[in-house]
Structure 1
Amino acid sequence: MPIIIAGVKIPDSSMAKAATELVRDTETDLLYHHSRRVFLFGALTGDRKGLSYDAELLYIGAMFHDMGLMDSHASETERFEVDGANAAREFLSAYDISERDVDDVWDSIALHTTPGIPQYKRPTVALVTAGVEMDVLGIGYDDFTDEQREEVCACHPRGLKFKHGILSSFCMGTIRKPETTFGNVKADVLSKMDPTYRRVDFADLILQSMWES
């Protein structure tokens, strides 16, 4: 695997290498390659926008952002994004990382499926979501050159069925705790893929609350 992909240097510190090994051993091939693409697209976005960001923190956020989809890191009650954020926090506790930087990594993972907020946060948070949105939704697709997209995907292939594969991953990571999809985009995933799922309606919660008026 090349050290530099599409002009972006992959972090190679002991912490970054340990994160890569952990994610490679824990996640599916689809999620591992997706996570690396998220880092690369996030870094390219930061470079294009002239943002000053910590590549290692961005890398950890990108690599752990879907860790909560895996059974080994999934809680019974938390959103998978929170599970992934907690896994990253635990991992970072073994290294000399400031609490503010740990919080940024945590937020970058916990907020990556909450549109409209991350872009106003510090670069680690904003760029993890930018990378996710590019790789999953194609947001900002034309902001990258053909060469950048092709090199990223040559090193970390999407495969022919990535769109369906990522939806299946989201589904399997949430189907056992459907209550965690309330108020976030995973409700759309279960609505499409689980015939037994019933979406909680926010307006109904207000109207059916214990208050008389």
Structure 2
Amino acid sequence: MVEKYRSPNERFELDGADVAQQFLRKQRMPADRVEVVWDAIALHTNRPIALRKRPEIAMVSVGSGLDFAGNELEKIPSEILDDILDAFPREGFKKNAVDTMLSLCRTKPMSVLMHPFAEVGRRHLPDFAVPTVEDVLLAAPFAE
């Protein structure tokens, strides 16, 4: 999601996966391990698919869901959660995340086509013209 690493058109998940892949190749990490990292980052927002992949890929998805939305937060004992939040304070994460989603919607709107971030764009950006999945379906050039 970091602006420096954004491509002109790809989803943010692919931007992150591609940058990690480039970095790890420069570090001479074995190709099979690089592939696992790429898959984990690219799939981290698609939990149903990630959970069917290798444990490392599933864990990245589960962890990002916990960090982003608090999914299954109750499974972490409160004293451990307190230690984690002391060590890694959220420091405006929610506002920064929404601001970043809106930035993606403004700068590369088609990258959020059929992506949950499009809903943020629709809510906050008056001229946000990215079609919904229904719009895409109904515009398909097929007779009924």
TM-score by length of 1: 0.62
Could you tell me how far apart the structure 1 residues matched to 2:119 and 2:132 are?
Answer: 13
Say which of 118, 124, 133 aligns to 1:193.
Answer: 124
Structure 2 equivalent of residue 134 of structure 1: 66
Could you tell me how far apart the structure 2 residues matched to 1:144 and 1:206 are?
Answer: 41
Could you tell me how far apart the structure 2 residues matched to 1:129 and 1:167 are?
Answer: 19
Q: CA deviation at 1:175?
A: 2.1
Could you tell me how far apart the structure 2 residues matched to 1:211 and 1:109 are?
Answer: 35
Could you tell me how far apart the structure 1 residues matched to 2:128 and 2:9 are?
Answer: 17
The AA in structure 1 aligned to 2:109 is P
Consecutive unaligned residues in structure 1, runs of 5 or more: 1-68
Q: Deviations over 1:59-104 (max 9, x none)?
A: xxxxxxxxxx222211111111111110000000122322222111
C-alpha change, 1:125 and 1:174, in structure 2 (3 Å) is farther
Could you tell me how far apart the structure 1 residues matched to 2:79 and 2:124 are?
Answer: 35
Q: Over aligned residue pairs, what C-alpha RMSD do you find?
A: 1.7
Q: CA deviation at 1:201?
A: 2.4
The AA in structure 2 aligned to 1:170 is M
Structure 1 equivalent of residue 35 of structure 2: 103
Could you tell me how far apart the structure 2 residues matched to 1:208 and 1:94 are?
Answer: 44
Q: Report matched runs for 1:12-31 at 5 Å.
A: none
Q: Report matched runs for 1:1-213 at 5 Å.
A: 69-159=1-91, 161-213=92-144
Asked if the contact 1:114–1:184 (Cα under 8 Å) also holds between the matched residues in 2, the reply is no
Could you tell me how far apart the structure 1 residues matched to 2:9 and 2:32 are?
Answer: 26
Could you tell me how far apart the structure 1 residues matched to 2:143 and 2:97 are?
Answer: 43
Q: Which has the higher contact order (CA 8 A, sep 6+)?
A: 1
Could you tell me how far apart the structure 2 residues matched to 1:202 and 1:169 are?
Answer: 22
Report the count of equivalent residues.
144
TM-score by length of 2: 0.89
Could you tell me how far apart the structure 1 residues matched to 2:90 and 2:71 are?
Answer: 16
Asked if the contact 1:70–1:173 (Cα under 8 Å) also holds between the matched residues in 2, the reply is no
